[in-house]
Structures are given as structure tokens and as C-alpha cells.
């Protein structure tokens, strides 16, 4: 076996790019060594249209999140229903090795419900863009500030950690956003500030300034909460972490309102294999966790989804199949950026379809215990391609066996 160099980009489990660790690039990283994941699947994830979690579902998911090493779990909004309130309380009673937070609107009554559930912390929300306050909520800005000050101060007085969550912060004017948050920090209480990109409209180029300006004005830890409307949530979250953000908020499989939230799986794997940042989340648990949540939520994910896709390590292409057969027992990362076991998957598996080549047929015959000469294998391959067109998809072993036996005779 070829001895691989022990470099951040090339280990026995992944092979990424040395460009990521070039001194001119990496010297600018300022990752917090205590960077944490705050998972919001049980609250924001459930806001995806059609997704419903019962109290029992939430308890089961919370246990799986904690088992995977997620640091903070947002268990829900107790004010939504008696079922949600019971779920939050039951999750707290489990004594999981994760901090349990509740979500609340900026009202004392909501905070009281969170306190009754026994949570460690509370995420208190208020709109921060003047247009959303005045048009969406039909409030005055003064009322938004007053409610926020009262709720955050009360939560702190009762011993809760307070993460302030200014909705739509990235569409507010910079002055309005900073003024609102500064007033709440001065007259109320903030232990952390959510950098909330409610509509996923922040560009990667703006992330560093958003983080730096917010921290410099407030002098508190900052937490990202980025949505995926433009598919930028992972990139923006990791950029924010690289310039010192303290917490990244995620959901399993990117569940959430509209296009969803920043996905837990891609975020953790990006940090580990591209930036050499092990934040303590067990990557081997990512696929089982995603499949559990998606099953409960009744949500189908693309079969080639990053990290957890069901066919992510299936190989149809004849060229890539050649690579896999040549390196599988020596250096599998020559054919994949990371090995399947790193994310709790099996494989790789060579499959047969229209794009397959001779290596796919050879492997299928080995698997079926059949022998064929070169001419027979070539004929089998052509029949496999024709059958794949008929099926409009892949063949399984029973299909291949019928074809092979017809050819071999």
C-alpha cells in the first residue's frame, strides 16, 4: 500500500486540496477553538412546509443529535402548543450532554414558558429591519426595542443564557440593525448575538464585514443563522467561522423554511476535511442521523446529496469504476474526496447502467460467481446498456444474471 503523507489535506480518510492550506490562505483563518454547533432542526427545521414532529419524535431526534456530539439543541418554541412545551421539557429531563435551548418571541410570557421547561438558554427573536417591523408586524421600531429589552432582561434575571435573534438583519440598513441591537444590549441583556440572514441573501464577500462590525459594536459572541435560498448557507457559515464566529446554527439535511437552513452535515464535513477543524461532532453519525430525521419528517432527499445521499458512493461510469477497482484496497481517496465510512456510509459499489463499462460487468460477474470470456463480457455490457435504456435506470443483480446466463449459455 502506498504510504500517504500525513498532511491536513491528505490523510487515510480524505484527500482534498493543498491550496486550502497554503500559508497565504490559511494565515488569515481565525477559527474559535471552541466553535460550536447549535442545531435548530426541532424548531426551524419543522417550519418546512408539511413537516410535523410529535413530542416523541422530537425526543428521539434530540437523543440522536446529542449522540452525534452536537453542542447545543434548540428544542422548540414552547408557546406553539402544549405538545411542543411537553417536548422541550422532556428533552431537558433526559440530561443529554448538549445544552438545551428554547426559542421565544420577545415577550416575557414566552420566556416564562421557556423557564418552566427548565432549559439552559433562550433564543429571543425580534424583527430588526424597519420595513419588516412596520409592514410585516405593523409595529413601531420603538415597540420592538421595548419588547426586546424587557424580555431579554427578564430572561437573564432568571438565570437563562440569552441569544438575541434579530430577524432579517441582513436586509436592514446597517445603521438600523446596529442601533436596535445596541439598545437591547445596553438596556436589556445579550450573551450572544445571532447574525440572522433570514432570506439567505448575504453574499460570501459580505460575511466578514457582517461578523466584524457586529462583534465590534456589541462585544459579545456571535452566532450564524443563514438560510439556503441561494445555496450559500454552508459557505457563508464557514467563512463566518473562519473570521471568528463562535457558533453555527444548522439543521439536519438543511430542513427549514423555504429552501431550508444551513445543513449540519456539509458544514461539519467542510470544517473537518477542508479546514482541518475538528469541532467534536462524530462524522460517522451524520448519515444515520439524517436518515432518521428525513424518515420522521417524511422528506425525500436527492440520492446524490452531499455526505448523506443514498447513491453517493455508487459508481456507474466505466472510467471511474476502473479507478475504484484499482485503488479500492490501496488508496480509496484517489477516487473519492473522503471514504464512505467517515460519514457512516457503506461502499463504494459499482452499479450497472447505460454509462457502465467493462469493469462494472467484471465486478458483477465476480459478485454473481459467473465466468465469461472477453467477447461474452462485451456482449453482456451492450445488453446491459440496452436494458438500462428500457428501464430508464439501473439494473439490479437479478437483471444482470438473466442477461449473463443468456450470453454465457
Q: Are 297 and 49 in contact (CB under 8 A)?
A: no
Per-residue pLDDT of 389-403, as tens digits, reads 999 999 999 999 999
Report the pLDDT value the prediction gives residue 143, as an integer from 0 to 100.
80
Report the pLDDT value the prediction gives residue 267, as an integer from 0 to 100.
98
Report the pLDDT value the prediction gives residue 1, as an integer from 0 to 100.
40
Mean pLDDT of 194-205: 97
Where do the H-state alpha helices sit in 309-357? 318-327
Report the pLDDT value the prediction gives residue 142, as an integer from 0 to 100.
78
Per-residue pLDDT of 94-143, as tens digits, reads 999 999 999 999 899 999 999 999 999 999 988 777 777 677 677 777 78
How does residue 6 score in pLDDT terms, banded at 50, 70 and 90? low
Mean pLDDT (the chain, rounded) = 94
How does residue 146 score in pLDDT terms, banded at 50, 70 and 90? confident
**Could you state, in order of their start, the residue ranges of all structural domains in the chain?**
18-297, 314-408
Per-residue pLDDT of 324-344, as tens digits, reads 999 999 999 999 999 999 999
Q: Are 9 and 22 in contact (CB under 8 A)?
A: no
pLDDT at 204 over 60: yes
Q: Whole-angstrom Cα distance, residue 258 to residue 271?
A: 25
Sign of CA dihedral 60, 65, 67, 68: positive
Q: Which of 350, 236, 278 is nearest to 13 (CA)?
A: 278
Report the pLDDT value the prediction gives residue 140, as an integer from 0 to 100.
76
Lowest mean pLDDT among 4-18, 232-246, 347-361: 4-18
In the chain, what percentage of residues exceed pLDDT 70? 98
Report the pLDDT value the prediction gives residue 134, as an integer from 0 to 100.
73
pLDDT at 38 over 80: yes
Q: What is the pTM of this model?
A: 0.94
pLDDT at 4 over 60: no
Q: Which CATH number fits domain 18-297: 3.20.20.70, 3.20.20.140, 1.20.1050.10, 3.10.20.30?
A: 3.20.20.70
Report the pLDDT value the prediction gives residue 388, as an integer from 0 to 100.
97
Strand 72-74 and strand 36-39: the pairing is parallel
Amino acid at each position: 500500500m502506498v504510504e500517504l503523507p500525513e498532511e491536513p489535506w491528505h490523510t487515510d480518510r480524505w484527500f482534498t486540496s493543498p491550496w486550502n492550506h497554503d500559508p497565504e490562505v490559511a494565515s488569515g483563518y481565525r477559527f474559535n477553538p471552541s466553535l460550536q454547533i447549535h442545531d435548530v432542526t426541532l424548531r426551524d427545521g419543522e417550519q418546512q412546509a408539511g413537516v410535523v414532529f410529535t413530542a416523541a419524535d422530537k425526543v428521539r431526534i434530540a437523543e440522536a443529535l446529542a449522540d452525534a456530539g452536537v453542542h447545543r439543541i434548540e428544542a422548540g418554541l414552547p408557546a406553539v402548543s402544549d405538545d411542543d412545551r411537553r417536548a422541550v421539557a422532556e428533552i431537558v429531563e433526559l440530561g443529554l450532554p448538549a445544552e438545551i435551548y428554547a426559542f421565544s418571541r420577545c415577550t416575557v410570557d414566552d420566556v416564562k414558558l421557556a423557564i418552566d421547561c427548565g432549559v439552559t438558554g433562550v433564543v429571543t427573536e425580534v424583527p430588526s429591519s424597519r420595513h419588516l417591523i412596520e409592514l410585516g408586524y405593523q409595529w413601531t421600531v420603538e415597540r420592538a426595542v421595548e419588547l426586546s429589552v424587557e424580555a431579554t432582561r427578564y430572561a437573564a434575571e432568571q438565570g437563562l443564557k440569552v441569544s438575541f435573534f434579530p430577524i432579517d438583519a441582513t436586509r436592514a440598513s446597517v445603521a438600523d440593525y446596529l442601533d436596535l441591537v445596541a439598545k437591547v444590549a445596553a438596556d436589556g441583556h445579550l450573551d450572544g448575538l445571532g447574525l440572522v440572514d433570514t432570506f439567505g441573501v448575504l453574499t460570501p464577500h459580505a460575511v466578514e464585514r457582517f461578523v466584524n462590525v457586529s462583534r465590534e459594536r456589541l462585544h459579545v459572541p456571535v452566532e450564524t443563522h443563514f438560510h439556503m435560498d441561494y445555496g450559500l448557507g454552508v459557505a457563508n457559515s464557514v467563512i463566518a467561522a473562519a473570521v471568528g464566529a463562535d457558533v453555527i446554527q444548522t439543521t439536519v439535511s438543511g430542513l427549514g423554511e423555504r429552501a431550508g437552513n444551513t445543513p449540519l452535515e456539509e458544514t461539519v464535513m467542510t470544517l473537518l476535511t477542508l479546514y482541518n477543524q475538528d469541532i467534536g461532532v462524530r462524522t460517522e453519525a451524520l448519515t444515520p442521523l439524517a436518515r432518521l430525521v428525513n424518515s420522521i419528517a417524511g422528506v425525500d432527499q436527492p440520492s446524490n446529496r452531499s455526505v448523506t445521499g443514498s447513491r453517493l458512493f455508487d459508481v456507474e461510469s466505466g472510467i471511474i469504476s476502473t479507478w475504484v477497482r484499482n485503488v479500492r484496497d490501496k488508496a480509496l481517496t484517489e477516487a473519492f474526496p473522503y471514504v464512505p465510512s467517515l460519514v457512516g456510509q457503506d461502499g463504494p459499489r459499482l452499479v450497472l447502467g447505460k454509462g457502465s463499462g467493462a469493469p462494472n460487468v467484471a465486478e458483477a460477474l465476480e459478485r454473481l460467481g459467473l465466468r465469461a470470456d472477453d467477447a461474452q463480457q462485451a456482449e453482456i455490457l451492450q445488453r446491459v446498456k440496452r436494458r438500462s435504456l428500457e428501464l430508464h435506470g439501473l439494473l439490479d443483480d437479478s437483471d444482470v444474471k438473466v442477461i449473463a446466463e443468456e450470453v454465457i449459455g
